[in-house]
């Protein structure tokens, strides 16, 4: 698949998607959003890919939705744009293969929302986060009002949403918005190392963890743990579980096949 506004490269079973519109700080216009949807679809469907690393070219991760496109939209177009973007970001969230945002710089508005839709966020010490939409007289449209409180709690989320203030990587770590902060020049290596650890695990078990957390968080506890028990039972019938437990007992590394 040929992309114009992002690059897609596979190495060591990791698909690296680099948003590549640096002159506009990787702002998400409609064309770039469409490519992001195609790129995550490609990563999920390819057998040679087991994990996804998402980052940005230049000094931004993504500085938000493209304001020049937003400025002229009607109410109907705005709703449709939000729904399209939400569908695209949701693909990153429900991907059965781990998705990791390596936040190299500005992650504002849609950029923060895109990072939040990924399973893991690693931040460079130069990264900046925020939901500045209120400064434009609009609100988040790509899930920010929902994923931010789920990650950092209602009070902290509302502070960020209502002030539009930017926070640095250290503060993002303190409030639980990112998993780790790394020196800028070590960010991608750390991201690949973490994904490498995940790639060494049973891929079906990984997929079930992702699904149980994603679906379970929106269920009552009894339903959620029932879902977990079903997953646990299903995984017991896989070759991967037979191999993983046998390898432990035989004191060797497992060799998982995803079956």
Binders of ligand COA among residues 136 to 165 (CB under 6 A) are: 136
Is the CB of 68 or the CB of 245 nearer to ligand COA?
68
51-56 vs 99-103, strand pairing mode: parallel
Count the residues in the chain: 259
CA distance 132 to 188: 27
Q: Indicate if 228 belongs to the active site.
A: no
Q: Indicate if 113 belongs to the active site.
A: yes
Q: How many positions of this chain bind ligand COA (CB under 6 A)?
A: 15
Among 15, 36, 54, 63, binds ligand COA (CB under 6 A): 63
Burial class (CB in 10 A: 0-12, 13-18, 19+), 171: middle
Among 40, 102, 116, 133, binds ligand COA (CB under 6 A): 133
Helix or strand holding residue 168 (H, E): strand 167-168
CA distance 41 to 194: 22
167-168 vs 128-130, strand pairing mode: antiparallel
Q: Which stretch binds ligand COA (CB under 6 A): 8-16, 21-29, 230-238, 249-257?
A: 21-29
Is the CB of 35 or the CB of 66 nearer to ligand COA?
66
Is residue 112 within 8 A of residue 131, CB to CB? The reply is yes
Question: 35, 69, 93, 133: which one is catalytic?
Answer: 133
Q: What angle do CA 10, 12, 16 make, to 5 degrees?
A: 35
Among 9, 30, 31, 68, binds ligand COA (CB under 6 A): 68
**Minimum CB–partner distance for residue 32 and ligand COA (Å):** 11
Is residue 97 within 8 A of residue 40, CB to CB? The reply is no
Convert residues 93-132 into a mask of x (bound to ligand COA by CB under 6 A) and - (unbound): -------------x-xx----------------------x
Residues of the shown chain interacting with ligand COA in the complex, contacts defined by CB under 6 A? 24-25, 27, 63-68, 106, 108-109, 132-133, 136
């Amino acid at each position: 698949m040929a992309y114009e506004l992002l690059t897609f490269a596979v190495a060591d079973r990791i698909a690296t998607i680099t948003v590549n519109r640096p002159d506009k700080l990787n702002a998400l216009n409609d064309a770039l959003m469409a490519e992001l949807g195609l790129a995550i679809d490609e990563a999920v469907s390819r057998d040679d890919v087991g994990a996804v690393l998402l980052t940005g070219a230049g000094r931004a991760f993504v500085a938000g939705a493209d304001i020049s496109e937003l400025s002229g939209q009607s109410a109907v177009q705005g709703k449709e744009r939000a729904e399209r973007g939400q569908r695209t970001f949701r693909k990153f969230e429900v991907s059965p293969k781990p998705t990791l945002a390596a936040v190299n710089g500005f992650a504002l508005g849609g950029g923060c929302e895109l990072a939040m839709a990924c399973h893991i966020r690693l931040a460079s010490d130069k990264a900046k986060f925020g939901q500045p939409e209120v400064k434009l007289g609009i609100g988040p449209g790509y899930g920010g009002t929902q994923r931010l409180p789920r990650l950092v709690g209602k009070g902290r989320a509302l502070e960020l949403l209502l002030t539009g203030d930017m926070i640095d990587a250290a503060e993002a770590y303190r409030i639980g918005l990112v998993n780790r902060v790394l020196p800028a020049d070590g960010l991608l290596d750390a991201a690949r190392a973490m994904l490498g650890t995940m790639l060494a695990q049973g891929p079906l078990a990984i997929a079930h963890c992702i699904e149980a957390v994603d679906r379970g968080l929106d269920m009552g506890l009894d339903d959620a743990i029932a879902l977990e028990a079903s997953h646990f039972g299903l995984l017991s019938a896989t070759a991967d579980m037979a191999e993983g437990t046998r390898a432990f007992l035989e004191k060797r590394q497992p060799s998982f096949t995803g079956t």
